Structure 1
Amino acid sequence: MVSEAQARPAAAVIPLIELQGLRKRFGGGLSGQPEVEVLHGVDLRIHAGEFVAIVGQSGSGKSTLMNILGCLDRASEGCYRFNGLDVAELGADELAWLRREAFGFVFQGYHLIATDSAHENVEMPAIYAGMGEAARSARAAALLARLGLADKMHLRPAQLSGGQQQRVSIARALMNGGRIILADEPTGALDSKSGAEVMALLHELADAGHTIILITHDREVAAQAQRIVEIRDGQIVGDSLTQPAGAQALAAQPVPDTALAREDRGTPWAADLREAFRSAWRSMRTHRSRTALTLLGIVIGVVSVIVMLAIGMGAREEVVARMGSMGVTLMYVGNRSPQGGGPVGVVTLEEVAAMEKLPGVTRVMPMARDPAMVRYGNVAWEADTIAATDAWPEIHDWPVAEGRFFTRAEDHDLAPVVVIGDKVRERFFGEGSGVGQQMLIGNTPFMVVGVMSIKGADSTGHNRDDVVLVPYRSGILRLFPVGRRFDPHYTVVQAADSGSVHSVQKAIEALLRQRHGREDFYVYNSAARLLAEAEAKDSMTLMLSLIAAVSLVVGGIGVMNVMLMTVKDRTREIGIRIATGARQRDILRQFITESVLLTMVGGTVGVVIGLVIGAVLVAWSVPMVFSASAILLAFGSAVATGLVFGFMPARTAARLDPVVALAGE
């Protein structure tokens, strides 16, 4: 019985690799270097299962040809088809897929990552292929055992002989299948015995159906191949192919489906992140001094944010605590959520009545306030509408200019009356007083009974004459329903004199704390106090923000500097990762992860040191308030610094030319 593949004419078999008129030039253009053509119109066909030796002297172009065959470099001109697919049409990630799934590289210089064990070096291509951790570990161990390195797999390259390192590189080439082995002078750096062992391994792989492309200048080594292609001065000058093209394909290893290159979705996020963190941590340990100096900048930045914000908040709290004795007689009592979380508190009218009975309290006025649409005739305007009691003029020292203020009886009877500010009068009635006229507030008619005297703008720029005042109960019922009947939005408390403000404030706080069982309220002094507090807070925040910004920028510059040095130091490692199938985004993610890990470590150390310094300052009676949000802000800013300042070095690493990177030191 003859199979379909055996019955097919040999000429009909698509070559695994087909080069037509391939040229490669270096220099020229914007480089400023003279243009040099290394390959001059190379034509070559290699079929699956062949053992081909490309032989030539140094400078003949054989290594350049190998880089193009292995998709590490692109041709300047001509066509390269892999299994019928034009490689020129593939993007960077698709070329990475091809290197990962089809090729396995065996270099003269081994190109193993010095900080990784033999086992980790072999595992690398499978990481970028998305193989599970257990599966790739087992496969790497099996490959090393097959090559006689079962007892060496946890050693690093420097602890292995040259022959052992080359066997590790062969195992790595086979990790994802290694259908095509590209061996660049695999015996060049080995003694004769080790070289013979490596060639024996290549023969075994060829017998198993792998396509072997051997690059060498040694004709004795080349003679061991089934086919010898001679290259000289960038041109093929000899080819020993004697059997019909494509006959070898019948026993060859299966070639990856190139259509899958366009469907590659990349390495699983978790696996890639684990590898990136492992590599980052190892790099930090290897360069301890440099890492420590870089961390110092991040630590200083985080410590400055935490300590300075704690000092600033402590100073502000101290100012707030003492401002009650600054001669201001008014306090504002309102609702808020407790600091530990929970529902907003409610100060009731019963508690307002209880506050009025406290020693040192002269007047207490519940209030509700909200913008409301006011209409008169054809004029409509959203005014600052306040529901208050008849104590308003006395508490605020603000007399009525025309008409009268509403009475306590009108407040009790829910009378629809209103007193307006001078700006409101001018807006709706022009030169007239408006007293006796009816206005719509919301959808409710109110009669104007008075106009307040001109008060002018306060220190914040808000014009206090743009106000509409209604009786408290009428406002609550008709305009400001709050869920609890007649409970105020906030309450104004007037102390007898400036000397009793502090004691009155403490008495109010004690009363409400006793009734509520928690601090879900606030007690503020008058508008002047609030303004002073806001100004102090703004100034402190601005100063601390500048300090934190400068510190973190300095730390970020240190991160960028160390990452640029890391990229330079690990150029060859980057080239190795690219050669084994890493995509640009894999390299980008790895180095960004390293910079983030660096700043995370610095941020953690900074938080610990900041808290220790804070504890020492507290022991020295320095007022400090530590905030979880400030600590998270400091840590988050450090991590963000790693992302921002680590991006440029990471992008530089991701865009390295594979050939240049592999040649780096």
Structure 2
Amino acid sequence: MTPSAAPLLRLTDVGRRYASGEAQVIALDGVTLDIASGEFVAIMGQSGSGKSTLMNILGCLDRPTSGAYEVLGRNVATLDKDELAALRRDAFGFVFQRYNLLSDASAAENVEIPAAYAGSSKRVRYERALDLLGRLGLRDRAGHRPTQLSGGQQQRVAIARALMNDAPVILADEPTGALDSQSGADVLALLGDLHREGRTVILITHDANVAAHAERLVELRDGRVVRDERKPASGTVAAVPRALGDARRGVWLAEVAEAIKMAGRSMRSNLFRTALTLLGVVIGVAAVVAMLAIGDGSKQDVLDRIAAMGSNQLSIRPGAPGVRGAGDVATLTVADAEAIKAIDNVTIVSPERSMGMILRAGSQDYRTTVSGVWPQYATLREWNTTAGSFLTDADVAGYAPVVVLGATVATNLFGAGSDPVGQFVLVRNVPFEVIGVLEPKGASGWGGDQDDIAFVPLSTGFMRLFGQQFLGSITVKVADGERIGKTESELNALLTERHRTVDFQVRNTASLQEAVSATADTMTALLGSVAAISLIVGGIGVMNIMLVSVTERTREIGIRMATGARMRDILLQFNIEALVVCGIGGLIGVALGLGIGLAARSFGLPVAFSPGPALMAFSCAFLTGVVFGYLPARKAARMDPVAALAYE
């Protein structure tokens, strides 16, 4: 053939040196070479002659230390890593001696790789892969993995991959070195067919018989060209090289979808390691979800029980502030309660005195709390009866010996399902008629049973049960909650004037709720922080495993770079893998955390589920993938293609 006037590839005084300790190894020394479009060139030499280094430079896998290398007039020294990747993708198809196929991908998927980095749609590249495999007699093997193919079949898959983007230059590095004689002859015949189609074929070999298939022989010795011979022209028409450059047609969505597919394949190929990686994230997310659910549930439970005591209320206790055992201090009287009624904004005043006593019904004894109250107590607590009625003003005025039982007391004295209304119980040997049974309220805010109580008129309690005429507490309900602070001040002033000293304590339920809420928030934040530490530990585990994965898959990274993967593609792939791991771990962790919460609820712990903690935990897991996946991905993206391909 007659080479075209303008060379496709031009090397001018190219040298390549490698550092070896304090010395330098000279791989290429002043190589000047032009290769025209459509040539079939064999670069021959013994081991150490520099032929593989020359191929790496020709294929833009490596850069010369000195001199200049041009592809269609473009000096590769002016190109960055991504531009070199685009040049490899569009201009060169690599056929390696060791095939360099991805072991966890099918033959068709291996062939598709260059087109994936060129932005071709999945359907288009799959159809082209099948067409190329069909041309090479492997269509029926498209779904087989490399381990299921013979050496010759694997090399034909590598040739199909080299042709995927219709590259004008085929670089074949010892393509027959690992094959039997028949398979080697078949591969050389395929390279000859590609040359006759007009492609530029550069064959690297140490075998003179293999080199004889080329039209031009370039022999290297000690990094220098010692022979450059051409055979007579064969009449092959050189293909016109297409314009080179980054002609990607893909979009981010397609790239991400492809990266997710690769991530899934990588995870499936190392299931045990993937499971261990997931475990750290799962534990962290589950801990966050479960702990926050339990923390929020406990907070809400306390607030609900405080609210059950009534909103917009003031609680007055005897004894000066800071005095312990204030309930035994005789400073509050019924007269104080009567006086408080006159304060503006006060709607209900409920004095109370309580004592532990034994109640007897027939032969059944039961110890409970007996409280003397006014009738307004039931309204204040929003506590209705399931049988009979509550106390009345007439009961208080008449010192009536009547009692209203809590559900627990009624059950213990008269049995479950019975109606004690109209029957009598003895309290300190005084018969009291049961006039009502209260509806069940369950456990109290402080861990006790709210239904374990009995109510008598306050006047009757003072006369027949309690002895001394002082109160244990006074509860005040106000009409306007916004004015509760003013009402509290007026109440303090009134009692101080009446008692001539501050021998009482006033508590605002609203401020109590705020204090409890703030404390609960602090505890929830503490629980969440402890759980977040687990998530961080899981993230460190992800980073560690991803770093190991990058090391193990160094050759795969080199293959992808050789077939056109840019730094962004490698960065995206490994980041996506970390995100997929953390995303799956986050979903499993959320489900596990909800399961732990449900289990805790079944054991009686207060649990409150809400979307916030679950979304936050999953987002943190996802962010963990971004943060802890970046360093391994960055390490992978910055690898040198030549070193990656040579990694054992």
Fold in common (TM above 0.5): yes
Whether 1:605 aligns to 2:605 is no
* 1:128–1:266 contact (8 Å) kept in structure 2: no
Kindly provide the CA deviation profile for residues 582-601 of structure 1, in whole angstroms up to 9, marking residues without a partner as x.
00100000000001101111
Distance (whole Å) between structure 1 residues aligned to residue 585 and residue 299 of structure 2: 29
Deviations 1:3-47 (A, max 9, x none): xxx9xxx8982210000010101116xxx5532121001000000
Question: Is 1:532 aligned with 2:516?
Answer: yes
Q: Distance in 1 between matches of 2:4 and 2:263?
A: 50
Q: Is the 8 A contact 1:329 1:525 kept in 2?
A: yes
273, 286, 290: which one pairs with 2:273?
A: 290
Match of 2:38 in 1: 49
2:215/2:232 contact within 8 Å kept: no
**Is residue 218 of structure 2 the alignment partner of residue 103 of structure 1?**
no
Instruction: Compute the TM-score of the two structures, normalised by the length of structure 2.
Output: 0.71
- The offset of 1:610, in angstroms, is 1.4
Q: Which amino acid in 1 is paired with 2:628?
A: F
Q: CA deviation at 1:292?
A: 1.1
For residue 394 of structure 1, what is the aligned residue in structure 2? 487
Q: Over the residues paired in the alignment, what is the CA RMSD in angstroms? A: 2.9
Contact 1:106 1:169 in 2 (8 A): yes
In the TM superposition, residue 243 of structure 1 has moved relative to its aligned partner by 6.8
Aligned mate of 2:135, from 146, 149, 164: 146
3-state SS of the aligned residue for 1:27?
strand
Which protein has the larger Cα radius of gyration, Structure 1 or Structure 2?
2
TM-aligned CA distance change 1:354 to 1:100, over 3 Å: farther
Letter in 2 for 1:156: R
1:542 CA drift (Å): 3.0
Deviation (angstroms), 1:268: 2.2
1:548-627 matches, within 5 Å, as 548-627=531-610
In structure 2, the partner of 1:413 is none
Partner of 1:167: 156
Distance 2:598 2:243 in 1: 64
Q: Give % identity.
A: 51
Which residue identity lines up with residue 18 of structure 2 in the other structure?
Answer: F
Amino acid at match of 2:31: V
Deviation at 1:543, TM superposition (A): 1.3
Give 1:254's aligned amino acid.
V
Matches within 5 A, 1:16-165: 16-27=8-19, 32-165=21-154
Give the corresponding residue for 2:355. Answer: none
**Are 2:363 and 1:363 aligned?**
no
SS in 2 for 1:190: coil
Structure-2 separation of matches of 1:635 and 1:206: 55
> What is the TM-score normalised by the length of structure 1?
0.69
Distance, in Å, in 2 between the alignment partners of 1:132 and 1:266 is 9
Equivalent AA in structure 1 for residue 615 of structure 2: L
Mark the runs of 5 or more structure 1 residues left unpaired by the alignment: 1-5, 332-352, 368-387, 401-496, 502-523
CA distance in 1, matches of 2:121, 2:486: 78
Query: Separation in 1 of the partners of 2:591 and 2:22?
Result: 54
- Determine the C-alpha separation between the residues in 2 that align with 1:175 and 1:12: 25
State how far apart, in whole Å, the 2-side matches of 1:143 and 1:393 are. 88
Give how far 1:241 is off: 3.2
Q: Which residue of 2 aligns with 1:452?
A: none
Show the 5 A alignment for 1:236-247: 236-241=225-230
- Which letter maps to 2:582? T
What SS does the aligned partner of 2:177 have? Answer: coil
Match of 2:430 in 1: none
Q: Does structure 2 conserve the Cα–Cα contact (< 8 Å) formed by 1:363 and 1:395?
A: no
4+ residue stretches of structure 1 with deviation over 6 A? 325-329
Equivalents in 1 of 2:77, 2:138: separation in Å? 39
1:15 to 1, 7, 15: 7
* Equivalent position SS for 1:151: helix
Deviation, 1:541, is 2.9
Query: Which residue of the other structure, out of 196, 206, 222, is the alignment partner of 1:233?
Result: 222
Structure 1 residue 277: Cα displacement: 1.3
CA drift of 1:362 comes to: 4.5
SS at match of 1:299: helix
Q: Using the alignment, how far apart are the partners of 2:347 and 2:265 within structure 1? A: 69
Letter in 2 for 1:251: V
Q: Distance in 2 between matches of 1:551 and 1:362?
A: 47
Secondary structure of 2:143 counterpart = coil
Runs of 5+ consecutive residues of structure 2 not aligned to the other structure: 315-343, 349-375, 381-475, 494-504
Q: Is the 8 A contact 2:303 2:516 kept in 1?
A: no
- List per-residue Cα deviations over 1:48-92 (Å, max 9, x = no partner): 000000000000000000000000001111000111111111111
Aligned partners of 2:215 and 2:231 also within 8 Å: no
Report the count of equivalent residues: 486
Letter of the 2:520 partner, please give it. A
2:239 corresponds, among 237, 248, 253, to 253
Over 3 Å counting, the alpha-carbon distance change for 1:33 and 1:128 in structure 2 is farther
1:364 Cα deviation from its structure 2 partner: 2.2
Distance 1:278 1:48, change over 3 A: same
Q: Distance in 2 between matches of 1:600 and 1:529?
A: 38
Secondary structure of the residue aligned to 2:23 is coil
Contact kept? 1:42, 1:235, Cα under 8 Å: yes
SS in 2 for 1:302: helix
C-alpha deviation, 1:363, in angstroms: 3.2
